[in-house]
Amino acid sequence: MMSLLKSLTRIGSFAAKELLEVVRRPGAFMSLVIGPFLIMAIFGMGYSGYRRPLDTVLVLPPQTGISRDPATYQRLAGPAIHVVAVTADANAALAELRAQQIDLVVIAPPDLRQRLRAGQQSDIEVEYNETDPVRAGNASVLATQLSDKVNQQIIQDVVLKGEQSPVGQAAGTSIPPNVVAQPTVGKPVNIAPTTPTLALYFAPAVLALILQHMGVTLTALSVVRERLHGTMELFRVSPASPVEILLGKYIGFGILSGVISLVTLGLMVLVLHVPDLGQAGLLAAIVALLVFASLGLGLLISVVADSESQAVQLSLLVLLASVFFGGLVLPLTEFQPIVGNAAYALPVTSAIDLLQNWMLRGTLLRPWELGVLVGLGAVLFVLTALQLRRIVLKG
């Protein structure tokens, strides 16, 4: 009985020690409780839960003879499609589609009425530009639905003009019933340079998340351990400045991250056969900027955290926020604008978009995201240098 009491006493003392450690370091406790709560609260308030309507341009040559009122087609299309304009210039509309300024282009043939008089169906081209298989499938379905709505408008116009138009007279006699019921057939076409599978599409995004998390975790414990092991005392009496210490850490961890990035990219392209349409030079620059910003984020955590446990907790919170708001799972367009814009404070947000577009399209649709990574990395470097200077000089 006595030995059992002694054992319980020892267990209780160890439990009390751990609780006291948490009480003495309120920052760690707050990051455990407040951090996940804030992420969930921001997600709950910022996520709309609705897909953005597809911006659509209808190309209707004047010879078609059907309505050119955008409001008419918007009423027919429903909330899933936003009819931006009705135009006769197919080249301008396709240029906007290639630049991803719009989502769908619907092109009606100029000889639609002539083919209808001849009892023939016409093809309506519905073009979209998507490398995301999920969004491509959604665009294809909506394209087919929109084609059906255009058919309704054609039939309505023919019926309204039936008493005066030779088309209307023909509609009652020589035109086959299937053509009367469906004057046009939608032909969805994806003009994206690649149409990867779901796994290959997400490969660049997962790479960006892995590289960011690697950079953060490599550096998050760096300064914390030096403070706990007494190495910081040596820094105080050495001639090395805080900036020199910081640059040394950037170079050391940067070389390690660069080697890992190169090997991972090689395996993705050579083994998994992930498309790589962009030039290697800019791809390397995107990865380098991602690593630069990620190391800065990890080092900032390292100089702010007061213990190893808090550094680990903050690193995991960054990972959690990156999954929710980085664009890996949910598009930023489905969040409120203020949350979507704030998500660019995470390096992975810009990197995912840059890597996917460069590897899968061979182009940068939003080159300003390179500037975001440069600016973010520079700000993190300055903040970390200031905090490290305070630690070295004041202890």
The string of pLDDT tens digits covering residues 218-272 is: 888 887 777 776 666 666 666 767 788 888 888 988 999 999 999 999 899 899 8
Structure tokens at 167: 């088309």
Calpha distance 115→269 (Å, rounded)? 48
Residue 171 pLDDT > 50: no
pLDDT at position 158, please? 60
Amino acid at 139: A
Residue 170 pLDDT > 50: no
Q: Choose among 93, 110, 111: nearest CA to 102.
A: 93
**Residue whose tokens read 């396709």:** 94
pLDDT at position 167, please? 45
pLDDT at position 357, please? 92
Q: Choose among 124, 112, 110, 113: nearest CA to 62.
A: 110
> What count of other Cβ atoms lies within 10 Å of the Cβ of residue 72?
17
pLDDT at position 24, please? 62
Q: What percent of the chain has pLDDT over 90?
A: 21
Amino acid at 301: I
Question: Please, what is the average pLDDT of the chain?
Answer: 81
Do residues 137 and 192 make contact, with C-beta atoms less than 8 angstroms apart? no
pLDDT at position 168, please? 44
Write down the H helix ranges in 25-89: 26-46, 70-77
Report the predicted TM-score, pTM, of the whole model to 2 decimal places: 0.81
Domains of the chain: 54-190 (3.40.1710), 196-394 (no CATH)
Q: What percent of the chain is helix, strand and coil (3-state, nearest 5)?
A: 70, 10, 25
- Band (288; pLDDT cuts 50, 70, 90): very high
Q: Identify the H or E element spanning 347.
A: helix 347-360
- Across 166-321, the runs of DSSP E, i.e. the strands, are 184-190
- Across the chain, the runs of DSSP E, i.e. the strands, are 54-59, 81-87, 104-107, 122-128, 184-190
Residue predicted with more confidence, 367 or 121:
367
pLDDT at position 375, please? 95
Per-residue model confidence as pLDDT tens digits over 117-154:
777 777 778 888 888 888 888 888 877 777 777 766 66
Calpha distance 118→166 (Å, rounded)? 11
- Band (157; pLDDT cuts 50, 70, 90): low
Residue 166 pLDDT > 70: no
Measured over the CA atoms of residue 356, residue 359, residue 365 and residue 370, the dihedral's sign is positive
Q: Choose among 235, 239, 237, 217: nearest CA to 227.
A: 235
Residue 320 pLDDT > 80: yes
Residue 162 pLDDT > 70: no
Most confident of the ranges 1-5, 28-32, 55-59: 55-59
